[in-house]
Amino acid sequence: MSDGGGGGGEEAARKKEKSRQLQKRVLVGVAIGVGAGGVVVAGGWVFAAAVAAAVLAGAREYFGLVRGTAGGGGTPPPRYVSRVCSAICALMPILTLYYGHMDVTVTFSAFLIAISLLLQRGNPRFAQLTSSVFGLFYCGYLPSFWVKLRSGLAAPALNTICVLPEIAYSWPILLGGPAHWTVGLVATLISISSIIAADTSAFLCGRAFGRTPLTDISPKKTLEGALAGLTGCVLTTVLLSSVLRWPRSLLSATAYGILIFLGSLFGDLVESLIKRDAGVKDSGSLIPGHGGILDRVDSYVFTGALCYSFIKVALPLYGV
């Protein structure tokens, strides 16, 4: 009987610890969400600096994961190359804000990295070049599209679609006045909110009803969870588009929601692939209860570029 009592006590302790971890995860998640919302609304250099900080932390985690593949036969780049790549990635969002593009930066940086790797002592490996150049693309180039999305679509929303007039028209002059409410701000708010809805819906429904594996890359992901994530993402996009009155077309809003979901899912799977090769569960331990920064922003890496491209190509008049 003493054994049974001991086992019951251990089970209760595990449940209590699990509940404590979940509480911490929720509190940290709420704090991050509130802070991120303020940064998005602020825009400008505040938003670009926040993206740069996240990019720097993500790049360091990425190259840490690449170094972790060495035990499985991988060939990571030298540490000085990893550090230089991380610094370049962190500069890309700032350069995007002030120059509007980063194509030259990426091309020139990739050229310098390739030269440094080819001239290093020892036996240069192609894997070192590919992991470094992909790091520039994955950690710096793609996230910088969020700056283009937020600050590059500066058409004033009020003149055409009257976004939340009760808020926008009364927005303080010291904080930018009504002109602060642009298509870029609205598109960013909808995109981030829809990604959160997709992740939450997929997690909850997948945990409760998931039975069919989605892919071997991430065994915990299920087809049921993915469908729930798609539904939650599209519904959120359509609902917010009706409130914020952008885009006006239901078809455009639905297509935008589907694109957001595909981008978030693909980003999640890519990070899972990197972690699987590195043989780790989390990309790091930076965020209490959430793992590393890449574990939290993987759904955003590709989505910003897809959303910006969709708006510029499919909605040439910004969906008005």
Summarised one tens digit per residue, pLDDT across range 37-90 is 889 988 889 999 999 999 999 999 999 999 887 666 677 888 999 999 999 999
pLDDT per position as a tens digit, 261-284: 999 999 999 999 999 888 888 887
pLDDT the model gives residue 289: 60
pLDDT score at 219: 84
Mean pLDDT for the stretch of residues 174-198: 81
The pTM (predicted TM-score) of the whole model is: 0.86
Higher pLDDT, 170 or 149: 149
Q: Is 264 in contact with 257 (CB distance < 8 Å)?
A: no
Q: Where does the pLDDT of residue 6 fall: very low under 50, low under 70, confident under 90, or very high at 90 and above?
A: low
pLDDT-derived band at 161 (thresholds 50, 70, 90) equals very low
Q: How far apart are alpha carbons 248 and 39 in whole angstroms?
A: 26
Helix axes 303-313, 250-278, angle to 10 degrees: 150
pLDDT category at 2 given cuts 50, 70, 90 is very low
218 Cβ partners below 8 Å, 6+ apart? Answer: 268, 269, 272
Does the pLDDT at position 3 exceed 60?
no
Report whether pLDDT(305) > 60. Answer: yes
pLDDT of the residue at 30: 73
Residue with the bigger pLDDT between 62 and 125: it is: 62
pLDDT score, position 265: 96
Segment 145-162 mean pLDDT: 72
Q: Which residues are CB-contacts of 197 (< 8 A; sequence separation ≥ 6)?
A: 232, 233, 235, 236
Task: Provide mean pLDDT across the span 299-312.
Answer: 94
pLDDT of residue 218: 86
* Averaged confidence pLDDT in the chain: 83
Give pLDDT, residue 243. Answer: 83
pLDDT band at 1 (very low <50, low <70, confident <90, very high): very low
Mean per-residue pLDDT, 138-163? 77
318 has pLDDT over 60: no
Return the percentage of the chain with pLDDT > 70, whole number: 78
Distances (CA, A) of 16 to 3, 13, 207: 20, 5, 20
Within 8 A by CB and 6+ apart from 6, the residues are: none
| pLDDT at position 160 | 44
Three-state DSSP state, 127: helix
Residue 15 has pLDDT above 80, yes or no: no
Per the model's pLDDT, the better-predicted residue between 272 and 100 turns out to be 272
Q: Residue 246: what pLDDT?
A: 83
CB 236 within 8 A of CB 260: no
Percent of the residues in the chain that have a pLDDT greater than 90, as a whole number: 44
Which of 146, 141, 138, 140 is closest to 43 using CA atoms? 146
Most confident of 58-72, 195-209, 252-266: 252-266
Q: How confident is the model at residue 255 (pLDDT cuts 50, 70, 90)?
A: very high
Q: How many Å apart are CA 263 and CA 310, to the nearest integer?
A: 12
**Residue type, position 307, single letter:** C
Q: Phi first, then psi: give them for residue 163, nearest 5 degrees.
A: -75, 120
SS3 149: helix
- Is residue 199 predicted with pLDDT exceeding 70? yes
Range 142-170 average pLDDT: 70
